[in-house]
Amino acid sequence: MHIAEGVLSLPVLAGCAALSAGCVAMGVRRLDETRMPLAALLGAAFMVASTLHMPVGVGSVHLILNGLAGLLLGWAVFPLFFVALLLQAALFSFGGFTVLGANLLIMAAPALLCHLLLAPALRGEPSRRRLLLVGAGCGVIGVGGATVLAALLLNLSGGSLFDHLVGMLVLSHAPVFVVDALISALALNLLWRMLPDMTRELCP
């Protein structure tokens, strides 16, 4: 859900940029050789999923798949999404350069939360049911967290002036919860079955 340029206030933009820069630096240090192949795959999936979008108010509605990426990559999801969002802004004018830090936080912070909350559930030999539940949780937390963060940034910038935009943003993302959760659940189950050793290593 890309927030367009010219919407957020300067203090919000500056704060998001500073926080995002620190998170990207942290993520670069965590992006080792083990995560590189999967990072490229998940980055491409995120790029394609979020490119196919529908504008809604000052934002847009699209699949995100950020929760699944965050579950498997942890902090490394920040530099991954930074590159993807930068390319989208440069090539397709999605979001924009001034809101890059804000959009990165919206996408990547809930993704990291998925790793912190759900990765411990994959220790040992998780059942197929647990894999599907964790994958679905990635979709719910990833999309839900992104929606909440976007609404918070809009509220900090415009207060009650953006109430109708916040309501539109939340309502329009209701179907995305379901689809994103379903795709994430099936993808995690498939990855675990095809590449169990690598997936287990990424979710210690």
Mean pLDDT value of segment 113-134: 89
As a dihedral over the C-alpha atoms of residue 16, residue 18, residue 23, residue 29, rounded to 10 degrees, the angle is 160
In a domain, 2, yes or no: no
In a domain, 24, yes or no: yes
32/38 Cα distance (integer angstroms): 11
Question: For 76-80, 84-88, 165-169, which range has the lowest pLDDT when averaged over its residues?
Answer: 165-169
Per residue in 4-63, pLDDT (tens digit) is: 888 888 999 999 999 999 999 999 988 877 777 778 888 887 777 776 666 655 555 667
pLDDT of residue 38: 77
Q: Return the CATH number at 189.
A: 1.10.1760.20
In a domain, 1, yes or no: no
Model confidence at 66: pLDDT above 60: yes
pLDDT of residue 113: 95
Q: How many domains does the chain have?
A: 1
pLDDT of residue 82: 94
In a domain, 95, yes or no: yes
Q: Residue 79 is part of which domain span?
A: 10-202
Q: Which residues contact 114 (CB under 8 A, 6 or more apart)?
A: 66, 67, 68, 70, 71, 137, 138, 141, 142
In a domain, 177, yes or no: yes
pLDDT of residue 55: 61
Per residue in 130-178, pLDDT (tens digit) is: 999 999 999 889 988 988 898 888 888 876 656 666 667 667 667 777 8
The most confident of the ranges 43-57, 61-75, 103-117 is: 103-117
Between 196 and 61, where is the model more confident?
196
166/148 Cα distance (integer angstroms): 9
pLDDT of residue 154: 83
